[in-house]
């Protein structure tokens, strides 16, 4: 059975799963839902946290994109390059993934949801300050190595890139000040399987225009 993936098309964490599946070469049955559906009894039975992405693979129901991407790699990838088995390498990948899960994506979600719910029309300064801190931290991470967690691309780059690329639409970074981030983004854009994100990123941009107009 092909694993089922519930998504909202514009969602950065859902897009990280789609890109990872493309990288690994696993086919997914993608089920596109609307935000309201996440609060229905039907979906809440699958995920009481009412979030997408959500993956159903055989008897397993998995939520949180960071868990889904590492699961897909461990189960379906031909090698361990995207999520290294070596403890010293993996610990760095995990650090970046947890940073995305706990700091980076939540700030993007707060900004986006603020527009969507009409809580604000301009991004509040506390959100801007955190976004700048994120850019500062990433610029430093990328000073030592070309990729976020070592000398080759890993799933940390994929997940974090979906957040940074989307955050950049709401709070653009200065590509001169953050030259390492700009170079990293360019290199990621040239990775063939990243093209799986193109249609979804376009939807993100349209959705952003809609909520901010
Ligand atoms: N840490 C989670 C975040 C997932 C998340 O918050 N997704 C958003 C869409 S981008 C969502 O489901 N929002 C609905 C809600 O929180 O009620 C992940 O990486 O999957």
Q: What is the ipTM of this complex?
A: 0.99
Atom from ligand 1 closest to the CA of residue 68: 20
9 lines ligand 1 (CB under 6 A): no
Q: Are strands 4-7 and 29-32 parallel, antiparallel or unpaired?
A: parallel
132-143: b (≥16 Cβ within 10 Å) or e:
eebbeebbebbe
Q: How far is the CA of 53 from the centre of ligand 1 (A)?
A: 7
Helix pair angle (155-170, 12-24), 10° resolution? 150
**Cα dist from 30 to 53, 92, 195, whole Å:** 10, 30, 17
Residue with tokens 């941009």: 205
127 lines ligand 1 (CB under 6 A): no
Can you give the pLDDT at residue 72? 98
Residues 53/66, Cβ–Cβ less than 8 Å:
no
Can you give the pLDDT at residue 84? 98
Residues 93/155, Cβ–Cβ less than 8 Å:
yes
What residue owns the CA closest to ligand 1's atom 5?
A: 51
Q: How far is the CA of 10 from the centre of ligand 1 (A)?
A: 11
52 lines ligand 1 (CB under 6 A): yes
Cite the DSSP H helix spans in 145-173.
155-170
Which segments of the chain have a pLDDT < 50? none
């Amino acid at each position: 059975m092909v694993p089922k993936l519930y998504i909202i098309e514009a969602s950065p964490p859902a897009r990280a799963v789609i890109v990872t599946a493309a990288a690994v070469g696993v086919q997914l049955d993608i089920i596109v839902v609307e935000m309201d559906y996440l609060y229905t009894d039907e979906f809440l039975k699958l995920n009481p946290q009412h979030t997408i992405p959500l993956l159903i693979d055989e008897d397993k129901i998995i939520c949180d994109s960071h868990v889904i991407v590492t699961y897909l790699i461990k189960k379906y990838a031909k090698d361990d390059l995207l999520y290294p088995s070596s403890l010293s390498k993996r610990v760095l990948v995990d650090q970046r993934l947890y940073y995305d899960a706990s700091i980076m994506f939540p700030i993007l979600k707060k900004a986006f949801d603020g527009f969507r719910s009409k809580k604000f029309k301009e991004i509040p300064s506390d959100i801007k300050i955190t976004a700048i801190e994120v850019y500062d931290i990433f610029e430093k991470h990328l000073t030592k190595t070309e990729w976020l967690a070592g000398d080759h691309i890993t799933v940390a780059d994929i997940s974090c890139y979906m957040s940074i690329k989307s955050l950049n639409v709401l709070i653009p970074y200065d590509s001169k000040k953050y030259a390492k981030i700009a170079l990293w983004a360019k290199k990621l854009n040239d990775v063939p399987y990243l093209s799986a994100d193109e249609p979804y990123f376009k939807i993100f941009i349209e959705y952003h225009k809609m909520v901010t107009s």
